[in-house]
Amino acid sequence: MPEIIGGLLQRGLSDWSQVAFATDDRSASDTLRMGATDHNVRLAVQSGLSPEIAIQCVTINPARHMRLTLGRQHRARTLRGYRASRRRGDALDR
């Protein structure tokens, strides 16, 4: 992934809205050891991508590609008494 991101940055890609990072390129044991999307975000940032765009590439970009952003029923929500999967941004520092 670093080579791909580096190449796209060298070519001056400015619109990253069609780029998505996948997590199905590794085994379950590797995912447990390295992490999933958090690993991809850290790797992308280490490769020179801004944290905001790296996060976009693991959240809204794949959701748009899979058409999960259409309609109110597909929007995420946080309600009292329900657990949220949202994490703090300091995970990038690890």
Indicate the Cα dihedral angle 35, 68, 55, 76, nearest 10°: -90
Rounded distance between C-alpha atoms, residue 29 and residue 27, angstroms: 5
Q: Could you report the per-residue pLDDT of 15-42, keeping only the tens digit for each? A: 999 999 988 888 889 888 888 889 999 9
Question: Is the pLDDT confidence value at 90 over 60?
Answer: no
Confidence of residue 74 (pLDDT cuts 50, 70, 90): very low
Question: Is the pLDDT confidence value at 4 over 50?
Answer: yes
- Give whole-number Cα distances, 57 to 3, 15, 41, in Å: 16, 11, 8
CA-wise closest residue to 19 among 67, 68, 62, 66: 62
pTM above 0.85, yes or no: no
